[in-house]
């Protein structure tokens, strides 16, 4: 009995560890910085970057572990299946709650070289049209910050 419980706990710990490893980390090393002036700001909604399906998988594993502790024989098998399905549904619902879009801004900046750069980022009330700013980073990691 103890071996089964420890096996399920180990599987759950492994799943949580792999989930944590799948989340993107912060920027390290050198970051490109450009200067410019904000030409336009448009309000947008930004989709959350939560990993889709992780809640259902973790919930299903937890439900499987809990279901395996109930009853014996065929009853245990039924409890494991119901625990897995119930855990997956509950995990998905919990993830949906944290997967709501957030308020953001699409900011168009004219750099000091005359190039227009568009950056979409979470809303920053301290930014306004005509303001001198820095663009930190490139691609999806780019952010507009006040000078």
Same domain, 61 and 125: no
Residues 65 and 121 in one domain: no
Percent of the chain with pLDDT over 90: 31
Same domain, 18 and 62: yes
Check whether residue 54 and residue 69 sit in a common domain. yes
Are 70 and 132 in the same domain?
no
Closest to 43 measured CA to CA, from 99, 142, 123 = 123
88 close to 67: Cβ distance less than 8 angstroms: no
10 Å Cβ neighbour count for 115? 10
Task: Look over the chain and give the mean of its residue pLDDT values, rounded to a whole number.
Answer: 80
pLDDT at 140 over 80: yes
Same structural domain for residues 19 and 60? Answer: yes
According to DSSP, the residues that pair with 119 across neighbouring strands are: 107
Q: Do 130 and 65 share a structural domain?
A: no
Identify the band that residue 19 occupies on the pLDDT scale cut at 50, 70 and 90: low
Judge if 69 and 11 occupy the same domain.
yes
Output the domain CATH number for residue 140. Answer: 2.40.50
CA angle 114, 30, 133 (to 5 degrees): 35
DSSP letters for 127-141: --TT-EEEEESSGGG
Which domain does 89 fall in, by range? 1-26+49-100
pLDDT, tens digit, 9 for 90 and up, residues 61-94: 888 888 788 877 888 888 888 888 888 888 877 7
Both 22 and 80 in one domain: the answer is yes
Does 53 lie in the same domain as 42? no
Cα torsion angle, 24, 26, 28, 34, sign: positive
Q: Is 146 found in the same domain as 119?
A: yes
SS3 state at 53:
coil
């Amino acid at each position: 009995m103890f071996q089964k419980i420890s096996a399920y706990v180990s599987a759950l710990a492994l799943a949580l560890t792999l989930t944590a490893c799948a989340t993107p980390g912060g920027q390290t090393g050198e970051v490109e910085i450009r200067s410019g002036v904000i030409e336009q700001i448009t309000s947008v909604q930004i989709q959350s970057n939560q990993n889709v399906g992780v809640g259902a998988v973790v919930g299903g594993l937890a439900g499987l572990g809990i279901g395996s502790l109930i009853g014996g024989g065929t009853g245990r098998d039924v409890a494991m299946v119901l625990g897995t399905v119930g855990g997956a549904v509950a995990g998905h619902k919990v993830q949906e709650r944290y997967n709501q879009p957030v308020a953001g801004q699409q900011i168009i900046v004219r750099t000091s070289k005359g190039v227009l750069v568009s950056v979409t980022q979470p809303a920053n009330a301290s930014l306004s049209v005509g303001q001198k700013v820095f663009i930190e980073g490139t691609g999806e990691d780019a952010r507009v910050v006040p000078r």
